[in-house]
Chains A and B, each alone.
Chain A
Amino acid sequence: MSVETATDGDRFEAALENLEVPVTATDPATFDSTLESIVDQPVVGTPLPFERVSLPDWVDDEPTPATLETAATGVTAASFAIADYGSVVLPSTPEGAEQVSLFCDLHVPVVRASDIVPDMPSAIERLGPMLRDGASAIIATGPSATADMGALVKGAHGPKDVHVVVLEDDEALERDETGEHDE
Chain B
Amino acid sequence: MSKTDRETKADHIRHLLETEGPAVEANTMGFNQGRYDSVADLEDYEELKDEARTIKEGAIERLPELIDAVTETVEENGGTVYLAEDAADANRYIREVASENDAERLVKSKSMTSEELEVNEALEREGVDVVETDLGEWVLQVADEAPSHIVAPAIHKSREEIARLFNSQFDPGEPLETAEELTMFARERLGEQIAEADIGMTGANFITADSGSLMLVTSEGNARKTAVVPDTHIAVAGVEKIVPTVEDLAPFIELIGRSGTGQDITSYVSLLTPPVDSPIVDPDDPETPFADREDDREFHLVLIDNGRMTMREDDQLRETLYCIRCSACANTCANFQSVGGHAFGGETYTGGIATGWEAGVHGYDSAAEFNDLCTGCSRCVEACPVKIDIPWINTVVRDRLNRGGEASRFDFLYDELVPDEEATGAIDRQKRLFGNYETLAKLGSATAPVSNLIGGLGPVRSLAERFVGIDSRRPLPTFQRETLVDWFDARGPNVAAADADREVVLYPDTYTNYVDVDRGKAAVRVLEALSVHVQIPSVPGSGRAPLSQGMIDTADAKASRVYAALAEHIDAGRDIVVIEPSDLAMFRNEYEKLLPERSFERLRNSSYEVLEYVYGCLENGADPAALRTDGPPIAYHAHCQQRTLGLDRYTRAVFDDLGYDVLESDVECCGMAGSFGYKSQYYELSMDVGDRLAEQFSTSEARDRLVVASGTSCGDQLEDLLAREASHPVEALDPNSPLAR
Q: Using a CB–CB distance below 8 Å, which chain A residues touch chain B? A: 62-66, 68-69, 85, 87, 92-99, 102, 120-121, 124-125, 127-128, 131-132, 134-153, 155-159
Contact = CB atoms under 8 A, between A and B. Distances in A.
Interface in B176-229: 178-180, 182-184, 186-187, 190-191, 208, 210-211, 213, 219-222, 224-225, 228
B495 interface: no
B647 interface: no
A140 B282 CA distance: 24
Across the A-B interface, the 10 shortest Cβ-Cβ residue pairs: A150-B159, A158-B221, A96-B290, A156-B220, A151-B179, A157-B221, A148-B136, A66-B286, A148-B135, A131-B211
Q: Which of the listed residues A136, A144, A148 has the most CB atoms from chain B within 10 Å of its own CB?
A: A148
A141 B136 CA distance: 21
B133 A149 contact: no
Given A64-B289, A151-B179, A144 B265 contact: no
Contacts of B178: 151
B277 A140 contact: no
Interface in B26-46: none
Given A131-B211, A151-B179, A64 B287 contact: yes
B208 A148 contact: no
9 contacts: A62-B289, A62-B292, A85-B264, A94-B279, A131-B211, A136-B272, A138-B268, A147-B152, A157-B190
A136 B271 contact: yes
Contacts of A147: 152
Contacts of B184: 155
A153 B179 CA distance: 7
Contacts, number: 193
A147 B208 CA distance: 29
Given A65-B285, A94-B279, A149 B186 contact: yes
Contacts of B290: 62-65, 68, 94-96, 99
Given A153-B183, A156-B220, A158-B268, 17 more contacts: A62-B290, A94-B279, A94-B291, A98-B278, A102-B228, A124-B246, A127-B271, A136-B213, A137-B271, A139-B265, A142-B267, A144-B220, A148-B152, A150-B159, A151-B178, A156-B222, A157-B225
B315 to A, nearest CB: 32
A177 B100 CA distance: 61
Contacts of A135: 273, 277
B134 interface: yes
Contact of A96 (B186, B267, B291): B291
Nearest to B229: A99
Given A99-B281, A150-B162, A158-B221, A64 B286 contact: yes
Interface of B: 77, 133-136, 139, 152, 154, 157-160, 162, 178-180, 182-184, 186-187, 190-191, 208, 210-211, 213, 219-222, 224-225, 228, 245-247, 249-250, 253-254, 264-274, 276-279, 281-283, 285-293
Nearest to A69: B286
Contact of B246 (A97, A128, A140, A153): A128
A96 B279 contact: yes
Given A64-B288, A149-B135, A134 B77 contact: yes
B194 to A, nearest CB: 8
Nearest to B183: A153
Contacts of B264: 85, 141
Contacts of A146: 135-136, 183, 219-220
A140 B268 CA distance: 5
A136 B269 CA distance: 11
Nearest to B290: A96
Nearest to B250: A124
B268 A139 contact: yes
A49 B583 CA distance: 64
A137 to B, nearest CB: 5
B265 A155 contact: no
Q: Which of the listed residues A136, A145, A149 has the most CB atoms from chain B within 10 Å of its own CB?
A: A149
A166 B186 CA distance: 33
Contacts of A64: 286-290
B48 to A, nearest CB: 10
B273 A134 contact: yes
Contact of B281 (A65, A92, A148, A153): A65
B277 A93 contact: yes
A14 to B, nearest CB: 13
Contacts of A153: 179-180, 183
A139 B285 contact: no
Nearest to A143: B267
Nearest to B249: A124
Contacts of B272: 92, 136
A98 B158 CA distance: 33
Given A138-B270, A144-B267, A146-B135, A65 B282 contact: yes
A159 B179 CA distance: 17
A148 B264 CA distance: 18
Contact of B253 (A68, A134, A137, A139): A139
A94 B139 CA distance: 34
B273 A136 contact: yes
Contacts of B228: 92, 98-99, 102
Given A96-B291, A149-B183, A150-B162, A158 B220 contact: yes
Contacts of A128: 211, 245-247
B271 A155 contact: no
Contact of B208 (A125, A131, A144): A131
B77 A132 contact: no
Given A64-B290, A131-B211, A102 B225 contact: yes
A131 B246 contact: yes
B267 A92 contact: no
B77 A131 contact: no
A153 to B, nearest CB: 4
Contacts of B274: 136
Given A66-B286, A149-B135, A156 B187 contact: yes
Nearest to A90: B268
B271 A139 contact: yes
B273 A94 contact: no
Nearest to A100: B290
A120 B250 contact: yes
Contacts of A94: 277-279, 290-291, 293
A95 B290 CA distance: 6
B220 A132 contact: no
Nearest to A158: B221
Contacts of A120: 250, 253-254
Contacts of B211: 128, 131-132, 134
A145 B257 CA distance: 14
Contacts of A102: 221, 224-225, 228
A132 B246 contact: yes
A155 B139 CA distance: 17
Nearest to A92: B278
A156 to B, nearest CB: 4
A97 B290 CA distance: 9
B283 to A, nearest CB: 6
A65 to B, nearest CB: 4
Nearest to A18: B264
